């Protein structure tokens, strides 16, 4: 093998690429803006990914490229993206396209039975069993039963702020937090901007840290939102384990994403307590390493690299 091996991890806010030799040595890196097709479309996403891959390669040839992106939640989306990559200079018959949850899962564990839940801009989960069985969720928002992540927390903060302002809901520090973060004088002003399309709902994700801060300050409304987030994370893990028949098996539950990595004590303690109650054999694993680690390892495995090379890459990629 003369070409390099490239792993790509793309989320809602950033895209990372790493180029490796077959021996697991890192020889190139690249960082770009978010490449989730849900936010920038397939063409926009592929443009970002293509730039990242070519930058990491630095003019060298690619032998194997594995791309893992948030927003590729349906098999039809994976197929469409795979077809789109055929126009690039690095795509081959062995190119792997998948959801970024696979990169997170591989970053956190090598176990054949495992579950991963990401809670970042959005929320999603994946589960795998040693015999190859997998579990996925559509992750298409409220229409598929989803809630949570930075976007969900931000929208919930606005919901409570609006109800406080017009008298339907209890007093909460979230109203002042929303006004400050969004640069408006009233919640109604923000609502009208969102309704008219002058602002995007995705902007509300910046409110997530304020929810946790308000909860730490004793705000009952914010605390209830944090508790709901903990319950949603565990619901995804429990459902994955149940559908795979692993609820009574010792299984790592890998947790990642920006909301998780912030390690808010109320959130993490809430997840731990609920997971112990619902899946007592599960072992919670919080991943602090970036999921580009898993993307690189999966790419090496796709290329048939030796275990020694994979072990070297695990050390080098985060460095």
Residue 63 counted as domain residue: yes
Are the beta carbons of 82 and 42 closer than 8 angstroms?
A: no
Range(s) of the domain holding residue 301: 4-107+289-316
Q: Which residues of the chain have pLDDT under 50?
A: none
Cα(122)–Cα(139) distance, integer angstroms: 9
Helix (H, G, I), strand (E, B) or coil at 30: strand
Q: Is residue 12 situated within a structural domain? A: yes
**Looking at residue 319, what is its pLDDT?**
84
Within a domain: 212: no
What does the alpha-carbon distance between residue 54 and residue 30 come to, in Å, rounded to a whole number?
A: 9
CATH code at position 50: 3.30.420.40
For the entire predicted model, the pTM comes to 0.91
Query: What's the pLDDT score for residue 276?
Result: 97
Alpha carbon distance 153, 207 (integer Å):
7
Count Cβ atoms within 10 A of the Cβ of residue 302 and give its class: 0-12 exposed, 13-18 middle, 19 or more buried. Answer: middle
pLDDT on residue 121: 86
Q: What is the pLDDT of residue 133?
A: 97
Q: Kindly report the number of other CB atoms within 10 A of residue 258's CB atom.
A: 19
Is residue 176 in some structural domain? no
- 46 part of a folded domain: yes
- Is 59 inside any structural domain? yes
* Count of domains for the chain: 1
User: What's the confidence (pLDDT) of residue 1?
Assistant: 52
The answer to whether residue 208 sits within a structural domain is: no
29-to-32, 171, 292, 300 alpha-carbon distances in Å: 10, 48, 10, 15
Q: Give the whole-angstrom CA distance, residue 48 versus residue 14.
A: 10
In angstroms, rounded to a whole number, what is the distance separating the alpha carbons of residues 15 and 35? 6
How much is the pLDDT for 270?
98
- What count of residues does the chain have? 319
Structure tokens at 40: 């920038």
């Amino acid at each position: 093998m003369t070409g390099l091996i490239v792993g790509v991890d793309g989320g809602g806010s950033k895209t990372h690429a790493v180029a490796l030799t077959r021996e697991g040595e890192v020889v190139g890196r690249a960082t770009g803006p978010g490449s989730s097709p849900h936010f920038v479309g397939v063409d926009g996403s592929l443009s970002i990914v293509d730039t990242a891959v070519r930058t990491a390669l630095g003019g060298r040839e690619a032998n194997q490229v594995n791309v893992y992106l948030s927003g590729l939640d349906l098999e039809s989306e994976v197929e469409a993206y795979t077809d789109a990559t055929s126009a690039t200079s690095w795509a081959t018959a062995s190119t792997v396209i998948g959801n970024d949850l696979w990169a997170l899962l591989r970053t956190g564990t090598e176990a054949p039975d495992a579950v991963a839940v990401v809670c970042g801009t959005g929320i999603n989960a994946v589960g795998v069993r040693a015999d190859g069985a997998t579990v996925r969720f559509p992750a298409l928002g409220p229409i598929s039963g989803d809630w949570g992540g930075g976007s969900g927390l931000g929208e919930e903060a606005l919901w409570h702020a609006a109800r406080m302002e017009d008298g339907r809901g209890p007093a909460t520090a979230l109203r002042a937090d929303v006004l400050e973060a969004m640069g408006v004088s009233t919640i109604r002003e923000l609502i009208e901007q969102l309704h008219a399309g002058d602002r995007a709902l995705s902007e509300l994700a910046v409110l997530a840290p304020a929810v946790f801060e308000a909860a730490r300050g004793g705000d009952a409304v914010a605390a209830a939102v944090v508790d709901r987030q903990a319950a949603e994370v565990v619901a995804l893990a429990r459902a994955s384990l149940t559908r795979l028949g692993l609820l009574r098996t010792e299984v790592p539950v890998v947790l990642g994403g920006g909301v998780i990595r912030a390690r808010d004590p109320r959130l993490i303690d809430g997840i731990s307590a609920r997971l112990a109650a619902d899946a007592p054999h599960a072992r919670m694993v919080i991943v602090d390493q970036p999921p580009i680690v898993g993307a690189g390892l999966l790419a090496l495995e796709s290329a048939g690299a030796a275990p020694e090379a994979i072990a070297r890459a695990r050390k080098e990629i985060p460095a």
